[in-house]
Amino acid sequence: MSQQTQLLDSSQNRKTMLILEDFGRNLGLTFYALFALFPLVWMVICSLKADAEMYNTVFVFTPTLDNYKAVLLGTDYFKAFFQNLVVSGGAVLLTVVAGVPAAYALARYDFKKKEDVAFQILSFKFAPEIMVILPVFLIFQKIGLYDTYFGLIWVYQLITMPLLIWVVRGYFEDISVEVEQAAQLDGYRWFDVFFKTLVPLIKPGLVASGLLAFIFAWNSFTFPLVLSGFNIQTITITSLRYIASDTVHYGQVAVAALIAVLPEITARLFIQKHLVRGLSFGAVKG
Instruction: From residue 36, give the alpha-carbon distance in Å to each of 32, 119, 193, 216.
Output: 6, 33, 43, 20
Range of the domain at 268: 66-280
Predicted local confidence at residue 282, as pLDDT: 44
The average pLDDT across 28-53 equals 88
Task: CATH number of the domain at 109, please.
Answer: 1.10.3720.10
CB 206 within 8 Å of CB 198: no
Q: What single-letter amino acid sits at 218?
A: W
Domain annotation covers residue 41:
yes
243 backbone dihedrals φ, ψ, rounded to 5° = -105, 100
At residue 280, the pLDDT reads 54
Q: Are residues 128 and 43 in the same domain?
A: no
Q: Which of 168, 165, 147, 145 lies closest to 157, judged by CA? A: 165
Residues 145 and 72 in one domain: yes
In a domain, 179, yes or no: yes
Residues 6+ apart with CB under 8 A from 203: 274
Does one domain contain both 184 and 211?
yes
Q: Residues 114, 246: one domain?
A: yes
Assess whether 122 and 34 both reside in one domain: no
Q: Measured in whole angstroms, how far is the alpha carbon of residue 139 from the centre of its chain?
A: 28
87 domain-assigned: yes
Whether the pLDDT of residue 30 is over 80: the answer is yes
Q: Are residues 83 and 156 in the same domain?
A: yes
Average pLDDT over residues 226-244: 86
Grade residue 284 by pLDDT with cuts at 50, 70 and 90.
very low
Give dist(CA 40, CA 261) in Å, integer. Answer: 10
Evaluate whether residue 286 is within a structural domain: no
Is the pLDDT at 11 greater than 90, yes or no? no
Query: Distance (Å, rounded) from C-alpha 57 to C-alpha 124?
Result: 45
Q: Provide mean pLDDT across the span 54-63.
A: 79
Number of domains in the chain: 2
Instruction: With respect to residue 52, please indicate whether it lies within any of the assigned structural domains.
Output: no
Say if CB 213 and CB 95 are below 8 A apart: yes
Task: Specify the pLDDT at position 4.
Answer: 60
Residue 61 lies in a domain: no
Chain centroid, CA 10 distance in Å: 49
- Look at 100-104, 109-113, 232-236, 268-272 and tell me which has the smallest mean pLDDT: 268-272
0.75 exceeded by pTM? yes
Mean pLDDT in residue range 137-143:
93
Q: Are residues 93 and 30 in the same domain?
A: no
Q: Are residues 242 and 121 in the same domain?
A: yes
Q: Count of residues for the chain?
A: 286
Lowest model confidence (mean pLDDT) among 11-15, 212-216, 272-276, 281-285: 281-285
pLDDT at 95 over 90: yes
Mean pLDDT, to the nearest integer, of 230-247?
A: 83
Q: What is the pLDDT of residue 223?
A: 93
Instruction: Supply the pLDDT for residue 9.
Output: 62
| Domain match, 90 and 200 both | yes
Does an H or E element contain 39, and which? helix 2-47
**85 part of a folded domain:** yes
> Domain check: are 129 and 28 in the same one?
no
Same domain, residue pair 15 and 143 = no
User: Is the domain of 175 the same as that of 262?
Assistant: yes
Q: What is the mean pLDDT of residues 174-203?
A: 83
Residues 104 and 58: their CA atoms lie apart, in Å, by 53
DSSP code of 282? Answer: T
54 falls within a domain: no
- Tell me what the mean pLDDT of segment 222-231 comes to: 89
* Cα pseudo-dihedral 261, 263, 267, 268, rounded to 10: 0
Residue 86 has pLDDT above 60, yes or no: yes
**pLDDT band per the 50, 70, 90 thresholds, residue 87:** very high
